[in-house]
Structure 1
Amino acid sequence: MSIDTKHIQTQFPILGEKVNNHTIVYLDNAATTQKPNIVLDAEINYYRTINSNVHRGIHTLSQLATMEMEESRKVVQSFINAKKDYEIIFTKGTTEGINLVASGLERLLKAGDEIIISQLEHHSNIVPWQLLANRKDLILKIIPVDEHGDLILEDYKNLLTEKTKLVAVNHVSNALGVVNPIESIIQLAHQAGAYVLIDGAQSIPHLKVDVQELDADFYVFSAHKMYGPTGVGILYGKEHLLEVMDPYQGGGEMIKEVTFEKTTFAELPFKFEAGTPNIAGNIVLRKSIEFIQSLGLKNIQHHEDELLKYATQKLEEIENLTIYSKNAKQRAGLISFNLDIANTNSSDVGFILDKHGIAVRTGHHCAQPIMKRFEIPGTIRASFAVYNTLEDIDLLVNGIQEAKKMLL
């Protein structure tokens, strides 16, 4: 099945909005995707028809809300092929999922243990491990990247030792769009006796994810990157690891019994879901998955690969423009570039593009270490979704040409 972008666009009301008197060309999907009617309508419907707290009431509305949220958990389980629905933990996003794991594993680590991350990571997959390393006197090691933005696997192999306890890497780089060889990364880590956390924030809307096939110990992602609501995320963790981890937060819902002398914790997944959750968002996440499945991930991937190929071709025709990681082994979802004009930065170009109604992201993309690796302060990032078209890319190219005229 081919992607009918014109039909798909009609399902996203915001795409008909005007920005600076231009119909919006939205190319900032790596930051957040727009939401289709199926998602918007479901959120409104929840508040209009079954709004109630979950897991705590015997009345009808509470039972209905609980049923809907737990059904959503099962849909996520199926979507990523987790063994058990209670291996799916609702969070408020990828960042909280990573912090939850960092906190939960703390008791199991000791001074001198090692954690490995990469130069490609978002700050959300750097800072939690730095904080943990500082608290526990751990050693943080970094997998370097080559000139194409690919991780250097030979160096990674040499970093692994018997003291390595965790490897945390992203599936797809938010700054460069490089797809990392996580199958090999996971296999090598397990051979060394280490656990693996995969940051899937940028992969989940673009690639098929099967956590059992990958054998990932933890996999985290956010709903708003996959046509869902903000403030909702998923942490998948293997049952035996979640069982031995300490709770991330204390409060209601995550307890079995509380006395002033002692508290015992609830079973999975509620052990890690303290307080009232984002009930509407958790329910609506199911609708974003249904939207993706209605189109087919293979079809989405093919469409976005065509967009990436076309964008690379058209941008390469522009003089004084550098595309980063264009020769990486595999890319997905975005293209990162700069105009090589003296005294010009990425924000200058982004500002001019915005005047033409074109939304891109500029700057370091919360990935300053990889910017330092390429000796640049930031890039212009155009990132794609299923509703983007070749015409969007043509408008982007025209806008860049206009920017060049103004900045030279």
Structure 2
Amino acid sequence: MSAATSPSERRVSARIGAISESATLAVDAKAKALKAAGRPVIGFGAGEPDFPTPGYIVDAAIEACRNPKYHRYTPAGGLPELKAAIVAKTLRDSGYEVDASQVLVTNGGKQAIYEAFAAILDPGDEVIVPAPYWTTYPESIRLAGGVPVEVVADETTGYRVSVEQLEAARTERTKVVLFVSPSNPTGAVYSEAETEAIGRWAVEHGLWVMTDEIYEHLVYGGAAAASLPAVVPELRDKCIVVNGVAKTYAMTGWRVGWIIGPKDIVKAATNLQSHATSNVNNVAQAAALAALSGPLDAVAEMGSAFDRRRKTIVRMLNEIDGVLCPEPEGAFYVYPSVKGLLGKEIRGKRPADSVELAALILDEAEVAVVPGEAFGTPGYLRLSYALGDDDLVEGVSRLQKLLGEARD
């Protein structure tokens, strides 16, 4: 080892230095910085509802601020009343019966994902990750010592992987399969039959499943998001469910998520959290309690708006030559293929990949999108339609104008 690479000289650890910046947050930050500088940028980057958090949730937080019991440390694993509400909500929405000892309240979904992987992975354990994937999944796996193994699906299958693909990726080192429905970034929703088939395959091979249900309420056109441990009860002892209030209740900034899993795994993850962050912010937990205990009326209203925007953005994108945009059944993203535009001349440039195309779009149309490279599949763009109707139409209209100029 040379002096330049010795531990005493290395400023950032190799483990942390290998982590990539969140591409979606980076695009959102750049768009906001350009807007602050006076440029009329429209951002399709961040997966964040444009609605305010419902008033009754905010009122609960205000009341919690005044309550001295929330001014102190509380249990690292979450407020008992919130854990009880998560138990009730899980039975109501998923038909999955769990106990409060199986719940850990976390600082948002990202902490839940990392702690779940950290609790079950040893160095070298493999995790099968369907791609396109959300940018955080592989980074959390690597940070926990695991090895992500990608299985790619494309628009021809509605971005859904098959049991055959999963089986082809399985090795003697495989410990976990990641299952996400509805999906970020594609909006894909697995049918109950597809969900059951994947669950039974996991049981057959003794695999763990980590399932992210954060978009469970955001489904459209008759689609339904089936909860894997409810559909395949035999999997419950090797299944970890991640969820949170961020997307359903327009609470991205409140940072409240949770893990549901076997008691020993939840206890291990709770021990980790007790040293990493201790309890989640008490005021945010009180707000989450109000969200989960309250009506779903506001959720339905937001869902109707997302459905309307979904149809609009799909129609407008598919009017662009070289763009193929499947209609998503869930979440609030579209994931169009732009392979038909790569290499074509657009305002004097020939973007060779979707990174270059996204940069061109930002420079020339002042529209921020995220390239497919961030999600493991070059040749695509992700656009969130969780923004106002007027901005959505204006932003895609700019894309139509710019990309309509593409020439061989």
The question of a shared fold, defined as TM-score above 0.5 by the shorter chain, is answered with yes
Q: Deviations over 1:128-156 (max 9, x none)?
A: 3234446xxxx653323245333243121
1:225 alignment partner, one of 229, 236, 247:
247
Of 277, 283, 286, which aligns to 1:283?
286
Aligned equivalents of 1:23 and 1:349: distance in 2? Answer: 13
Q: Deviations over 1:259-297 (max 9, x none)?
A: xxxxxxxxxxxxxx9624211112212344467712465
Is residue 370 from structure 1 mapped to residue 370 from structure 2 by the alignment?
no
Normalising to structure 2: TM-score of the pair?
Answer: 0.66
Structure 2 CA distance for aligned equivalents of residues 315 and 222 of structure 1 = 31
Q: 1:71 aligns with which of 81, 96, 101?
A: 81
Q: 1:36 aligns with which of 39, 53, 59?
A: 53
Whether the 8 Å contact between 2:179 and 2:210 is mirrored in structure 1 is yes
Counterparts of 1:300 and 1:292, CA distance in 2: 13
Distance 1:27 1:36, change over 3 A: farther
The alpha carbon displacement at 1:394 in A equals 3.5
Does residue 53 (structure 1) correspond to residue 60 (structure 2)? The answer is no
Q: Which residue in the other structure is 1:83 paired with?
A: 98
Q: In structure 1, what is the equivalent of residue 324 of structure 2?
A: 323
Q: Alpha carbons of 1:403 and 1:71: their partners in 2 closer, same or farther (altered >3 Å)?
A: farther
Q: Per the alignment, do residues 351 and 45 of structure 1 end up closer, same or farther by CA in structure 2, a change over 3 Å counting?
A: farther
3-state secondary structure, aligned to 1:126: helix
Equivalent residues of 1:53, 1:276 under 8 A apart: no
CA contact (8 A) 1:30 1:202 kept: no
Structure 1 residues 19 and 317: alpha-carbon distance in aligned structure 2, compared to 1, 3 A threshold: farther
Give the aligned length. 336
Unaligned runs of 5+ in 1: 1-17, 57-65, 252-272
Q: Residue 132 of structure 2 aligns with which residue? A: 120
The C-alpha deviation readout for 1:97-134, integer Å capped at 9, x for no partner, is: 1221222124xx586x5432222222321123234446
Partner-residue secondary structure (3-state), 2:86: helix
Cα deviation for residue 189 of structure 1 reads 0.6
What does residue 200 of structure 1 align with?
Answer: 213
Q: Within 5 A, what are the aligned runs for 1:84-233?
A: 84-106=99-121, 109=122, 114-133=126-145, 140-148=148-156, 149-160=159-170, 164-180=174-190, 181-203=194-216, 205-206=218-219, 210=227, 212-215=229-232, 217-226=239-248, 227-228=250-251, 229-233=253-257
Q: Work out the CA distance in 2 between the residues paired with 1:349 and 1:230.
A: 32
* TM superposition shift of 1:85: 2.4
Aligned to 1:247: 271
Name the CA shift for 1:293/1:331 in 2 (closer, same or farther; >3 Å).
closer
Report deviation, 1:244.
6.6
Following superposition, the deviation at residue 196 of structure 1 comes to 0.5
Maintained 8 Å contact 2:215/2:247: yes
Distance 1:96-1:406 versus aligned 2 partners, 3 A rule: same
Q: Give 1:327-342 correspondences, 5 Å limit.
A: 330=329, 332-337=331-336, 338=338, 340=341, 342=345
CA distance in 1, matches of 2:372, 2:292: 30
Cα distance in 1 for partners of 2:259, 2:187 equals 22
Partner AA of 1:379 in structure 2: L
- CA spacing shift, 1:293–1:25, aligned 2, 3 Å: farther
Higher strand share: 1
Secondary structure of 1:74 counterpart: helix
Higher mean C-alpha deviation, range 192-201 or range 163-172: 163-172
Trace 1:306-321 onto structure 2 (pairs within 5 A): 306-318=308-320, 320-321=321-322
Aligned with residue 259 of structure 2, among 230, 235, 240 = 235
C-alpha separation in 2, matches of 1:132 and 1:55: 27
User: Equivalents in 1 of 2:46, 2:215: separation in Å?
Assistant: 9
Amino acid at match of 2:71: S
Write the letter of the residue equivalent to 1:363: P
User: What is the percentage of aligned positions where both structures have the same residue?
Assistant: 14
Q: 1:90 to 1:331 in 2, by over 3 A?
A: closer
Aligned partner of residue 254 in structure 2, secondary structure = coil
SS of 1:370's equivalent?
A: coil
How far apart are 1:234 and its partner, in Å? 1.3
Structure 1 residues 35 and 365: CA distance shift in structure 2, 3 A: farther
Q: 2:386 aligns to what?
A: 384
Equivalent-residue separation in structure 2 for 1:143 and 1:238 (angstroms):
27
Residues 228-251 of structure 1 show CA distances to partners (whole Å, capped at 9, x for unaligned) of: 133322112133543576832454
Report the residue type matching 1:87 in the other structure.
Q
- SS at structure 1 position matched to 2:323: strand
TM-score (norm 1): 0.66
Whole-angstrom distance in 2 between the partners of 1:312 and 1:189? 34
Q: State the one-letter code of the partner of 1:88.
A: V
